[in-house]
């Protein structure tokens, strides 16, 4: 694109205002300790999707259809890539015995951290593109490698079923002693509370004396954050491959991840029905890698001379995801496969 969106103040103000109000509304309506129901999760997932669609039409009317298509393509790609990460969250929560409303609390702080980390990753990633056109080939290789890992299941058998033994947990235990009991929704408990609990229950023990102790809630949050940072190394290059406009990339990513809390509860219930969605996402990553390599080849070698438009990219992304969903409905996994998929979570419970 010859013209650039840049950082128009009106667009930034609208984006910040909409996001801030929506987050406030979400927190206000979910401030109690009740479990999140599936209808509630579905309603809020649709709410966040509608916000993104509304921002899409704003970009289309006030800027250009091409900018709007780039935003929507980036949003859908980030949303679809998030599905795989959310399935990891299911295993993490099961490992620490975190259920219901406590999951919502952990996801809230986890997603706040994700917003900050994404901003850093996007700023770094978009600046790398400005250094050299050859960087596009590097990003294409990263995206293609991620797609191959998803398609071939690399590391699937080696995945830690019990995240309570994750390396990030061991590091946290060295920094802060652990109180091995949940205490409401608190991430830390005081020395006085721990001493009282130890006196009341002789089966409870702590590694050493300290002013504060970490609960399983904090260990779970650390696992969630580390998982999301690792996931960002794969997802951010893919979204940047769609568009290098920092505002479009960041707004697409933020709208996608802010809806993850509600989407998590929907996917946790429907994961066995979307057995082929990961293959569709892997295919999308190969497409994005091809598009990156094509752009780099055009810039460096002036070959082959043709490009994939934003509108065509959007149609390919939507079409590929639709094929994955339809295939999952028409060709569901075998019962034994579904049992194997659910086994680690049940065992951790």
Residue 341: which pLDDT band, with cuts at 50, 70 and 90? very low
**CA gap 183, 181 in Å, rounded:** 6
pLDDT of residue 276: 83
pLDDT of residue 162: 66
Mean pLDDT in residue range 156-167: 62
The answer to whether residue 260 scores a pLDDT higher than 50 is yes
- Map out the domains of the chain as residue ranges: 9-157+221-348
The answer to whether residue 154 scores a pLDDT higher than 50 is no
- State the Cα torsion 292-294-300-302 to the nearest 10°: -150
**CA gap 9, 11 in Å, rounded:** 5
pLDDT of residue 285: 81
pLDDT of residue 267: 74
Give the orientation angle of helix 101-129 with respect to helix 65-96, to 10 degrees. 140
Residue 345: which pLDDT band, with cuts at 50, 70 and 90? very low
Residue 118: which pLDDT band, with cuts at 50, 70 and 90? confident
pLDDT in tens, 298-317: 888 888 888 887 778 778 88
The answer to whether residue 158 scores a pLDDT higher than 60 is no
The fraction of the chain above a pLDDT of 90, given in percent, is: 11
- Tokens for 318, please give them: 């939507």
Lowest mean pLDDT among 28-42, 51-65, 120-134: 28-42
Mean pLDDT in residue range 47-69: 93
pLDDT in tens, 190-239: 888 888 888 887 777 787 888 899 999 999 999 988 888 888 877 777 78
Task: Quote the distance between the C-alpha of residue 348 and its chain's center.
Answer: 23
The answer to whether residue 22 scores a pLDDT higher than 80 is yes
């Amino acid at each position: 694109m010859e013209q650039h969106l840049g950082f128009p103040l009106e667009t930034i103000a609208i984006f910040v205002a909409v996001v801030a109000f929506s987050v406030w509304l979400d927190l206000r309506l979910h401030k109690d300790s009740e479990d999140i129901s599936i209808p509630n999760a579905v309603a809020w997932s649709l709410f966040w999707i509608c916000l993104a669609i509304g921002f899409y039409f704003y970009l289309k009317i006030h800027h250009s259809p091409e900018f709007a298509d780039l935003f929507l393509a980036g949003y859908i790609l980030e949303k679809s890539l998030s599905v795989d990460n959310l399935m990891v969250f299911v295993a993490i929560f099961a490992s620490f015995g975190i259920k219901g409303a406590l999951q919502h609390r952990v996801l809230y702080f986890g997603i706040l951290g994700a917003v900050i980390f994404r901003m850093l990753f996007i700023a770094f990633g978009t600046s790398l593109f400005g250094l050299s056109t050859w960087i596009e080939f590097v990003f294409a290789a990263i995206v293609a490698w991620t797609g191959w890992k998803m398609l071939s299941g690399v590391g699937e058998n080696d995945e830690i079923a019990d995240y309570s033994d994750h390396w990030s947990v061991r590091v946290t235990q060295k920094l802060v002693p652990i109180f091995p009991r949940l205490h409401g929704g608190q991430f830390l408990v005081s020395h006085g509370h721990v001493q009282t609990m130890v006196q009341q229950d002789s089966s409870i023990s702590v590694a050493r004396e300290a002013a504060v102790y970490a609960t399983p809630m904090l260990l779970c949050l650390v696992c969630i954050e580390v998982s999301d940072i690792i996931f960002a190394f794969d997802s951010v290059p893919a979204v940047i491959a769609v568009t290098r406009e920092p505002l479009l990339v960041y707004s697409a990513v933020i709208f996608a991840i802010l809806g993850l809390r509600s989407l998590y509860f929907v996917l946790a219930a429907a994961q066995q029905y979307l057995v082929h969605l990961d293959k569709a996402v892997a295919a999308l990553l190969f497409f994005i890698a091809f598009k990156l390599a094509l752009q780099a080849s055009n810039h460096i070698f002036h070959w082959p001379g043709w490009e994939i438009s934003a509108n065509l990219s959007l149609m390919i992304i939507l079409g590929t995801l639709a094929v994955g969903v339809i295939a999952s409905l028409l060709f569901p996994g075998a019962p034994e496969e579904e049992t194997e998929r659910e086994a680690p979570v049940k065992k951790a419970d």
